[in-house]
Amino acid sequence: MPKESFIKNRVKSVGFALRGALLLIRTEASIQVQVFIAIIMTAAGFFFDISNTEWIIQILTISVIMGVEGLNTAIEKMADYIQPEFDKKIGVIKDVSAGAVMLVSIAATIIGFIIYLPKIF
């Protein structure tokens, strides 16, 4: 069987990634909340005319939250697939994964305060 070209493989990979991102956004309430917050923060960035550096930090922060949220969802789905019944060890894995999202969200909130509080007051 002939090997597919590098470009064709990259195009397929991007297609799989887009499908996964859309699936995540359509099916997971937590990521839907994060998308809503991202839209609000993007609008705030335009309203308050934040600097290029602030935009970079804000975009990076939003993308880290979305990425960690996606990984958390993947870990939870995999854990449920591996062990559908309640299991304390799986519970710890899920709690740690959710805790990672919480830590990133706390940092994002602090970053938001640093960017926007001086513009409000």
pLDDT of residue 61: 98
Number of structural domains the chain divides into:
1
Q: What is the domain extent for residue 38? A: 6-120
3: confidence class by pLDDT, cuts 50, 70, 90: confident
Q: Give tens-digit pLDDT for 10-37.
A: 999 999 999 999 999 999 999 999 999 9
Q: Is residue 16 part of a domain?
A: yes
To 5 degrees, how large is the angle CA 15–CA 80–CA 73?
45
57: confidence class by pLDDT, cuts 50, 70, 90: very high
Residue 29's CATH number? 1.10.287.3610
Alpha helices in 28-51 (DSSP H): 29-47
Q: Is residue 17 part of a domain?
A: yes
Q: Is residue 1 part of a domain?
A: no
Q: Is residue 27 part of a domain?
A: yes
Average pLDDT over residues 63-75: 96
* pLDDT of residue 77 exceeding 90: yes
* Termini Cα distance of the chain: 66
* CA-based nearest residue to 27, from 85, 65, 74, 83: 74
* pLDDT of residue 1 exceeding 70: no
DSSP state of 69: H
Q: Structure pTM?
A: 0.87
pLDDT of residue 84: 95
82: confidence class by pLDDT, cuts 50, 70, 90: very high
Q: Is residue 103 part of a domain?
A: yes
Average pLDDT over residues 69-86: 96
